Amino acid sequence: MVNTLRRELTLRQAKVLKAVEDYVLEHGYAPTIRQLGSALKIPSPSAVLKHLQSLERKGYISRADGEIRVAGLPALVESQVRVPVAGLVPAGGPRESFDATGEAMDVPSWMVGRRRGNVFCIRVDGKSMIDAYIDDGDHVLLERTNLANSGEMVVAMLDDGSVTLKRLRRDNGHVFLVPENPAFQPIEAPSAKILGRVIGIMRKY
């Protein structure tokens, strides 16, 4: 079925709307005008604002208190996605490699976004990442990848097959897995294998 409303959009308006939708799916929240301008390579905030005002008049978005809301996305944001659980991963000293448990848990689909099918969950054992607000017993969502940027939190496998959750740091050719708790020491791990990077945390109070 053809969406007649979309016929009313100019090509530029359709591009702006898609950029907003993509940002919400990726991050779980709407972009600011400057973030949207950067994504679209539109340097003028007033030009971005004019496009948003046009989309608002046509019913595609609404704006309140500076926040952009996309018509039709609330149901998507509230939906759930089942993600496989890969067992305990230490946030302390490294331990033996984790295995798939055969279990799964439901997480909000906006946390997964376009990564659906490439996300898994671990349960944290230990407090070495407490200053990054990751505590013992938390469920952490990760994107499967063997690449990560310096500064990102990752699950990594060391040469002995043990795994750990730490922050990746690269410094002058050296690779470190750094805890977020002064009671723990960084691990120098030049050949560590990245198994996934952290994209979210699930906690039940």
Active-site residue, from 97, 127, 128, 162: 128
Q: What CATH topology corresponds to 79-202? A: Umud Fragment, subunit A (2.10.109)
Question: pLDDT above 90 covers what percent of the chain?
Answer: 37
pLDDT at residue 4, rounded to an integer = 39
166 is catalytic: yes
pLDDT at residue 5, rounded to an integer = 44
- Per-residue confidence band for 85, with pLDDT thresholds at 50, 70 and 90: confident
pLDDT, average across residues 153-169? 92
- For the chain, the domains span 7-76, 79-202
Q: Where are the beta strands (DSSP E) in the chain?
A: 61-64, 67-70, 80-90, 104-108, 119-125, 139-144, 153-157, 163-171, 174-178, 187-188, 193-202
Q: Which class does domain 7-76 fall in?
A: mainly alpha
44 is catalytic: no
Cα 25 to Cα 42: distance, rounded to the nearest angstrom = 21
Active-site residue, from 50, 127, 166, 204: 166
pLDDT at residue 75, rounded to an integer = 45
